[in-house]
Structure 1
Amino acid sequence: MAPITTLLFIALVSFNVVQVAVSSDPDILTDYVLPPNTTAPDANYFTYTGVRSIVNTTYPEKFTVIKATLKEFPGLLGQSVSYAILEFPVGSINPLHIHPRASELLFVISGSLQVGFVDTTNALFSQKLETGDMFVFPKALVHFQYNANSTEPALAVSAFGSASAGTQSIANSVFNSTIYEGILAESFNTTSDIVERIEYGLRG
């Protein structure tokens, strides 16, 4: 399988000017913000090298996300932006989820993706994206990305209008929580044994 090339870095540089327009983080009143008990930062504080691991390597066997959020990159504190690198092997999916604190702007670097989101009227907005296409997922709406291609992997970069957009998996939040199975069965108009089978499948 072909390695991931330095095209990713070219995309990241150009993508930097296309930050999500509306940020959900509070404005700061200084050039940058430092963590408590930190003084006089150097350039290392504003540098993140965690994405180097995917350069000139093959795609993973399963869908993989490499994040550059406040948790991984403290230099983002107060900057209202973060990234995620999304690697999609053939037939893989980024399952239904939301980002409660930011919109997501996705850019397909290679391959193709079927993407979509559902708004609060339950309308589905779905699109097939080719290499070079972009798609915006509105803040806090349920969405997904799927590589339906049977021969070619896909690579995408997502930018968020928050240093900590958060990710909440719909399936895990519902079926891997401690919500009483009877409540789940009533909510989905099904039986407790079906709920148990779904829960078991998610744990596997």
Structure 2
Amino acid sequence: MATKLQFFLVLILSCATLQISMAGDPDILSDFIVPPGFSSPIDGNFFTFTGMRALVNATFPTTFKVTKAAMAEFPALNGQSVSYAVLQFPNGTVNPPHTHPRASELLLLTMGSLEVGFVDTTNNLFTQTLQKGDIFVFPKGLVHFQFNSDANNPALAISAFGSANAGTVSVPNTVFNTTIDDQILALSFKTDVATIQKIKSGFSG
């Protein structure tokens, strides 16, 4: 009986370990994946993304802007478990609290300075002030933010993700720009419906 129980426990642990090891993008059984219906010849162009060229010598935006090179924009990334984003922060702008459910994020600051931070599952806040050349990692799935507190200078960062499709869940937008009942939000945030409606009005239009 004990032997059967031990075998059963080992089997469960093995399955759990396998699930953990497969928690990222699935491995592919070919060198790369060609999208269905793709008619162009597969050459160097397929593996080249030119979408960032628009940023070279362009006027810096007046609001926070993200330019992505993920699977939707760059189909050759399918199955490769990587993607990029360029984040442009005019002075005094923020990338609001958000999560990437399918990937960790490695941010390299190439211009200016940034206040960054994330909150772990025990509600500990980890923050840092990054300077040009610094790298910061945001663990997978955790709520995090970036803020350019410099009133005079912009900031530019490049983020690498451990998924071809990391996903982004904006906390403010998800909470206040969906159809979650106002009473539920008021109780959850320990406030009143009028306050919730005032916050929601900032997301309309």
Report the TM-score, using the length of structure 2 for normalisation. 0.86
SS in 1 for 2:116: strand
Once the two structures are superposed, what CA deviation does each residue of 1:137-191 show, in whole Å capped at 9, x if it has no partner? 0001000000011111100000000000000100111111111110010111110
Question: 1:29 maps to what in 2?
Answer: 29
Consecutive aligned runs of 4 or more in structure 1 exceeding 4 Å deviation:
none
Structure 2 residue aligned with 1:8: none
Q: Distance between the aligned counterparts of 1:164 and 1:153, measured in 2?
A: 27
Query: How far 1:24 moved relative to its partner?
Result: 1.4
What is the alpha-carbon distance in structure 1 between the residues aligned to residue 62 and residue 23 of structure 2? 34
Number of the residue aligned with 1:100: 101
SS at match of 2:32: coil
Shift of 1:52: 0.6
Identity of aligned residues (%): 58
The Cα of 1:58 is off from its aligned counterpart by 2.2
Distance 1:50 1:34 in 2: 19
Return the alpha-carbon distance in structure 1 between the equivalents of residues 27 and 104 of structure 2.
17
Equivalent residue number for residue 113 of structure 1: 114
Query: Within 5 Å, which residues of 2 pair with 1:81-100?
Result: 81-100=82-101
TM-score (norm 1): 0.87
Indicate the residue corresponding to 1:18 in structure 2. none
User: What does 1:18-97 align with in structure 2 at a 5 Å threshold?
Assistant: 24-38=24-38, 40-97=41-98
User: What's the CA shift string for 1:30-72, capped at 9, x where partnerless?
Assistant: 1111112336512111111111111012210000000000011
Q: Distance in 2 between matches of 1:167 and 1:90?
A: 23
Q: Which amino acid aligns with 1:38?
A: F
Partners of 1:114 and 1:147 within 8 A in 2: yes
Larger mean CA deviation between 56-65 and 156-165 belongs to 56-65
Provide the C-alpha distance between the structure 2 equivalents of 1:69 and 1:190, rounded to a whole number of angstroms.
39
Shift of 1:29: 1.6
* Residue 161 (structure 1) aligns with: 162
Q: Give the aligned CA root-mean-square deviation in angstroms.
A: 1.4
CA contact 1:23–1:162 (8 Å) conserved in 2: no
Q: Which runs of 5+ in 1 are unaligned?
A: 1-21
Between 1:101-110 and 1:28-37, the stretch displaced more is 28-37
Kindly name which structure, 1 or 2, has the bigger radius of gyration based on alpha carbons.
2
Equivalent position SS for 1:145 = strand
Aligned ranges for residues 10-21 of structure 1 at < 5 Å? none
Choose 43-52 or 23-32, whichever is displaced more: 23-32
Deviation at 1:23, TM superposition (A): 7.8
